[in-house]
Amino acid sequence: MSKVTPLSGFPEFLPSDRIVELQFLDTIRETFELHGFASVETRAVEPVERLSNQGEDADKEIYGVRRLAAEAGEDTSLGLHFDLTVPFARYVLEHGGKLAFPFRRYQIQKVWRGERPQEGRYREFTQADIDVVDSGELPNHYEVELPLVIAEALRKLPVPEFVVKVNNRKIPEGFYRGLGLDDVATVLRIVDKIDKIGPEKVIERLVESGATDKQARLAVQLADISSPDTSFVEQVRALGVEHPTLDEGLEQLSQVMAAAAEHAPGLLLADLRIARGLDYYTGAVYEIYLVGQESFGSVGGGGRYDALASDGKTTYPGVGISIGVSRLVHRLVSQGLLKGTRSTPTAVLVALNAEEDRAEAMRTAARLRARGIPVEVAPAAAKFGKQIKFADRRGIPFVLFSTENGPEIKDIRSGDQQPVDPAVWTPPAADVRPGIETLQENS
């Protein structure tokens, strides 16, 4: 038998950590549904042509899909989706005649990116997205609503303090055009690397791309501006650059920040360094960071896109934001902050005195399950001490015994053992299902 070798970038959880991930997914899903978002699931593959040319080196990261036994001339132009926004835009175009607009959707699925694996960077991971799309026009108030929904979901979870950094793509675009830099996409991609390579290297690369030293330094100065309120407008104006698109972006971001200050003070930080590498964003852009762990990178993000979903006749502008569930959970688990309270859903182990008792034990288990209690029967008859150790290793809190005096339930954590009627007994609510144990104080 060949040796099993792990594949880097394709993380797999142990059962107790998977419980943490499932709790996150359940909470996120329930929160999205509380806000009226409907669930959709799209296929894993899209035409490579649709996936490519989206910026952020997307072309290099797409996994191509083909049959190993593909014949000559067989179509091999499919790729695994690298995010959920591009396939969702296709979904809207394909099913637009059957959807009611504005359409509110959430989507929780795997995505694949062929990038170099490192901490927090995976080749396969789960994202949880919400988007609102409309036909023709999309009001700006959705750009405020979506980060508030995401924040509500995260605040229900044992997540450290976080901040949603927000910008508007029209601000750097208008600023660069006001400087005379018309290759906006190139400037954005260079400036977007400022955290990785530093401002001086960014200036150097901007000059290499055709900017003057003054233009490059002003672009970096713009990226240095941030504020928890609308004061960023005065800071931008002080740089002395004017352009109608810049004016529009400043106004739109001011509306977002003013509304956030009313509904969720301190949640949003206007940060003009945020650009998002994907080219389809046209308005608000978001990045979610854990406070004090910014060097880890964002654990979510998104933005507004006005032309991604268009069939030439009708355009469906949208705005969306996602949580990188795998990235976030792996970070918290690997830091020793969280773990599952047990490695199995089972709350009760029905013990066996002898193998002949299995049929009755299975009937007892069925009665408990009928009342929503997760139960399993011991794998084999053995001394009670051995069966208790089996339950303890798996984190099962209760063992149900048949004794001379009738059924008894033992809480193996406290050692307490009492007579019980399996037809009516129910464990404490906190023990029915596994939960998340916080191992350190999140701050």
SS3 355: helix
pLDDT at residue 196 in the model: 84
pLDDT at residue 117 in the model: 78
Q: For the chain, which residues score pLDDT lower than 70?
A: 1, 53-59, 74-76, 277-278, 440-443
pLDDT at residue 55 in the model: 57
Token representation of residue 252: 């739109």
Q: How far is it, in rounded angstroms, from Cα 194 to Cα 222?
A: 12
Q: How far is it, in rounded angstroms, from Cα 185 to Cα 61?
A: 19
Q: Is 195 annotated as a binding residue?
A: no
Q: Is 84 annotated as a binding residue?
A: yes
Q: How far is it, in rounded angstroms, from Cα 406 to Cα 241?
A: 84
The pLDDT tens digits of the residues spanning 306-358 come to 988 888 889 999 999 999 999 999 999 999 999 999 999 999 999 999 999 99
Q: How far is it, in rounded angstroms, from Cα 58 to Cα 254?
A: 31
pLDDT at residue 351 in the model: 96
Instruction: Report yes or no: 143 and 283 within 8 Å, Cβ to Cβ.
Output: yes
Listed residue (310, 300, 265, 305) closest to 284, CA to CA: 305
Query: Whole-structure pTM over 0.85, yes or no?
Result: yes
SS3 401: strand
Q: Is 91 annotated as a binding residue?
A: no
The pLDDT tens digits of the residues spanning 30-42 come to 999 999 999 999 9
Instruction: Report yes or no: 104 and 130 within 8 Å, Cβ to Cβ.
Output: yes
Instruction: Report yes or no: 109 and 126 within 8 Å, Cβ to Cβ.
Output: yes
Q: How far is it, in rounded angstroms, from Cα 41 to Cα 199?
A: 41
State how far the alpha carbon of 349 is from the alpha carbons of 367, 408, 412, in Å: 13, 12, 11
Q: Is 440 annotated as a binding residue?
A: no
Q: Is 127 annotated as a binding residue?
A: yes
What are the residues whose beta carbons fall under 8 Å from the beta carbon of 82, sequence distance 6 or more?
51, 58, 61, 62, 111, 112, 113
State how far the alpha carbon of 366 is from the alpha carbons of 35, 362, 377, 396, in Å: 37, 6, 10, 17
Q: Is 85 annotated as a binding residue?
A: yes
Q: Is 23 annotated as a binding residue?
A: no
Max Cα separation, the chain? 91
Structural domains of the chain, ranges and CATH numbers in brackets: 15-339 (3.30.930.10), 348-434 (3.40.50.800)
Listed residue (171, 161, 352, 153) closest to 245, CA to CA: 171
Q: How far is it, in rounded angstroms, from Cα 296 to Cα 281?
A: 23
